[in-house]
């Protein structure tokens, strides 16, 4: 059983190296502690421990919507530079409305609350974010929509749970175009991993 983020990520990397080497090559090298500290200063918060740990494992993936969609259904993991850019852009274009938004983790919010940390980008305006607002659900992973803001319940309770879920899907994924009688693991948002002949990870949903 996976108990740590490091273990979950090792499972993901092993599956990518075996079944989706093109996607594996899109994963970037780890970020440095100084760069993480600078990003926290820019974003005026201390990231949840799991976010910092993820960045020390890898600094996101190359922003390629074909090869780099590691997170279901259509999200590219973002590194520190893009994380800061997205945070600043969303703070500017989707400010917290007059009267404010809830400051409690897991609660809906119409604007982009400053304590949301972008970790996944679908390149159309929707994000996966870690909710860094205080509360029982602090550290959970949710969808932030450019149209609706933060809505629904968290998809994953933590970054560690998210990557463990992805690892299980990759380990039971199938090759594109093959008749597979297996039982693929569906992620918490209902996606199955598929590997193309070009060594690219895709998600069926």
Alpha-carbon distance of 205 to 196, in angstroms, equals 16
Alpha-carbon distance of 5 to 26, in angstroms, equals 20
Alpha carbon distance, N-terminus to C-terminus of the chain: 26
Q: How much is the pTM? A: 0.94
Predicted confidence pLDDT, tens digits, the chain (205 residues): 567 999 999 999 999 999 999 999 999 999 999 999 999 999 999 999 999 999 999 999 999 999 999 999 999 999 999 999 999 999 999 988 877 778 899 999 889 999 999 999 999 999 999 999 999 999 999 999 998 888 889 999 999 999 999 999 999 999 987 766 578 999 999 999 999 999 999 999 9
Match 């809505």 to its residue by tokens.
Answer: 151
Cβ of 73: how many Cβ atoms within 10 Å?
Answer: 14
Looking at residue 75, the DSSP 8-state letter turns out to be B
Alpha-carbon distance of 19 to 14, in angstroms, equals 9
């Amino acid at each position: 059983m996976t108990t740590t983020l490091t273990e979950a990520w090792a499972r993901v990397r092993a599956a990518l190296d075996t079944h989706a080497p093109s996607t594996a090559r899109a994963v970037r090298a780890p970020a440095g502690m100084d760069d993480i500290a600078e990003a926290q200063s820019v974003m005026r918060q201390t990231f949840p421990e799991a976010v910092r740990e993820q960045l020390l494992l890898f600094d996101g993936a190359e922003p390629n919507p074909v090869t780099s969609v590691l997170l279901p259904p259509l999200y590219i993991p973002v590194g520190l530079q893009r994380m800061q850019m997205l945070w600043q852009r969303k703070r500017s274009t989707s400010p917290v409305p007059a009267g404010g938004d809830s400051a409690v983790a897991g609660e809906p919010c119409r604007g982009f609350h400053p304590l949301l940390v972008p970790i996944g980008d679908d390149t159309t305006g929707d994000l996966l974010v870690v909710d860094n607002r205080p509360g029982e659900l602090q550290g959970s992973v949710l969808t932030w929509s450019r149209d609706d803001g933060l809505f629904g319940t968290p998809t994953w309770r933590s970054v560690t749970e998210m990557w463990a879920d992805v690892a299980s899907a990759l380990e039971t994924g199938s090759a594109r175009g093959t008749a597979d009688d297996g039982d693929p693991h569906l992620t918490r948002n209902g996606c199955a991993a598929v590997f193309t002949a070009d060594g690219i990870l895709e998600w069926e949903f």
